[in-house]
Structure 1
Amino acid sequence: MTIIEDDRALAEQISQLLSRYGYDCTEAKDFSIIDRQIEVEQPDLILLDINLPKYDGFYWCRSLRERTKVPILIMSARNSTADQIRGMDSGADDYITKPFDPDVLLAKVNAIIRRNYGELKPENADHGEEKCGVIFWENRQTVACRGKQTELSFTENSLFRVLFAAFPDAVSRGELFMQVWDDDSFVEENTLNVNIRRLREKFVAAGLPIAIRVVRSFGYKLIIGGDNT
């Protein structure tokens, strides 16, 4: 994984922590060519600070998300709700505020790796599953309908998988947290809200007839062929 943190001491501490648990880590050195480093290294996870020289982490998160589907975990001293939402809107999969407990960081990293690459990632063939004209290729992270399609990030893909599997029934918020994030202990409430909004926006932008409706006091349900509201 790649650690993008301009506090050299903190970057080294994170690297040492994760290395002890078997993760191969590299640290960004030149913060003006982060995109090129990611392209070369092809990491399984990006740990991204916000307060970086030249361009901030929000910029790099948006830029990297246009190039790769790799999970992005933002690490930042900015702890306001607005900053967390902005980070998720920029394409991050999760957000942790500084100073953080090393055990919490490790738990988040383990959960991201486990659900995207490990035992929580379903082992399915590379074929699309179809429901009401909507085809979902989980391994390709792609949703299509009527000749139109959109690609999803890892977290969006996991979230859609749970909603799609339950269709036409609703899924509780608690179940979404457990299925998508493996736990709800270290996950901000805004993380789910923002990812639901990102899915809605992608479906609208791609012209897909897919909506995600709020089920009051319960959770969400997928609607196929309806307005995305």
Structure 2
Amino acid sequence: MEKILIVEDDSKIAELLHSYFGRYGYEGRIVEKFDQVLTEFKEFEPHLVLLDINLPTFDGYYWCRQIRTVSTCPIIFISARSGDMDQVMALENGGDDYITKPFHYEVVMAKIRSHLRRVYGEYAPKIEERVVELEGLTLYPERLEVTLNDKTTVLTKKEAELLEMFLSSYPKVMSRNKILEKLWDDMIFVDDNTVSVNMTRLRKKLTELGIEGAIETVRGAGYRLNMTWNQAKS
């Protein structure tokens, strides 16, 4: 059963959407803690998200960007804002579609079915899974998994993109600017510390595979992949 996450603070609209989903054979879940949308997304693992713009704490644009760090699932904005720039902002921040309120629920369902078919169903592209490998360290970008010596660890989307960059460009040094350019060109506000934080997370994931010091900092230049796992085998 395909799952749909509803991020809507109007309880009446949220409940009506939820009832429609059940009627059409989908499993719906309404977000209750609007400061923990990403946490609920990770717990529920939906196939599609319906996302309002005007939300408590942070707006829908923010949460769309957060979801895009871990998933490429379809995100449909639903909002009373009908301006062209609102729709542009929604798409620029990672959304796939935009529906203005008030809306007909049948239109919402038609769009949901269309996006689900496109991504998961009959219209989904039939492509072979990509594999990026270097000296036994194997990354599966679409699965968000990396393996070494029969050990596997799960990555976030950003961690997988980072590791793919290092594996594909080895033995080159990757500058901080190049990493920001490659991974965060879809984000409006990016703290320079973001690179350090994500690098620390990736190092931790590789440590889970038994690799210590896999990514070294090159002072004044950036970061480089260090084939310590290959040295350990020798």
SS state at 1:96 partner: strand
The one of 100, 112, 124 equivalent to 1:121 is 124
Tell me if the contact between 1:124 and 1:139 (Cα under 8 Å) persists in the aligned partners. no
Among 28, 31, 46, the alignment partner of 1:43 is 46
Q: Does residue 62 of structure 2 align to residue 86 of structure 1?
A: no
Q: Which runs of 5+ in 1 are unaligned?
A: 129-136, 149-203, 208-229
CA distance in 1, matches of 2:9, 2:181: 35
Return closer, same or farther for 1:11/1:114 CA change in 2, 3 Å cut-off: same
Secondary structure in 2 matching 1:32:
coil
Can you list the C-alpha shifts for 1:63-96, whole angstroms capped at 9, x where unaligned?
2212222211110000100000011111111111
Taking structure 1 as the reference length, what is the TM-score of the superposition?
0.57
> Take 1:127 and 1:35, find their aligned partners in 2: how far apart are those partners?
27
Q: Separation in 2 of the partners of 1:125 and 1:54?
A: 41
Match of 1:52 in 2: 55
Aligned residues: CA RMSD? 2.8
* Aligned partners of 1:4 and 1:47 also within 8 Å: yes
Is the 1:50–1:56 Cα contact (8 Å) retained in structure 2? yes
Work out the percentage of aligned pairs sharing the same amino acid.
37
Partner SS, residue 40 of structure 2: helix
Please give the alpha-carbon distance, in whole angstroms, between the structure 2 residues aligned to 1:118 and 1:205. Answer: 33
Q: Work out the CA distance in 1 between the residues paired with 2:7 and 2:74.
A: 13
Superposed displacement of residue 23, structure 1: 0.6
**Is the contact made by 1:76 and 1:96 (CA closer than 8 Å) also made in structure 2?**
yes
Larger displacement relative to structure 2 (56-65 or 3-12) = 56-65
CA distance in 1, matches of 2:18, 2:118: 21
2:6 to 3, 6, 9: 3
* Larger Rg computed on CA atoms: 2
Displacement of 1:50 after TM fit? 0.7
Structure 1 residue 205: deviation in Å? 3.2
Q: Structure 1 CA distance, aligned partners of 2:55 and 2:43?
A: 21
| Cα deviation, residue 116, structure 1 | 0.3
Aligned to 2:69: 66
Q: Which amino acid aligns with 1:75?
A: I
Q: CA deviation at 1:139?
A: 5.4
Give runs of ≥4 in structure 1 deviating > 2 Å.
Answer: 122-125, 137-148, 204-207
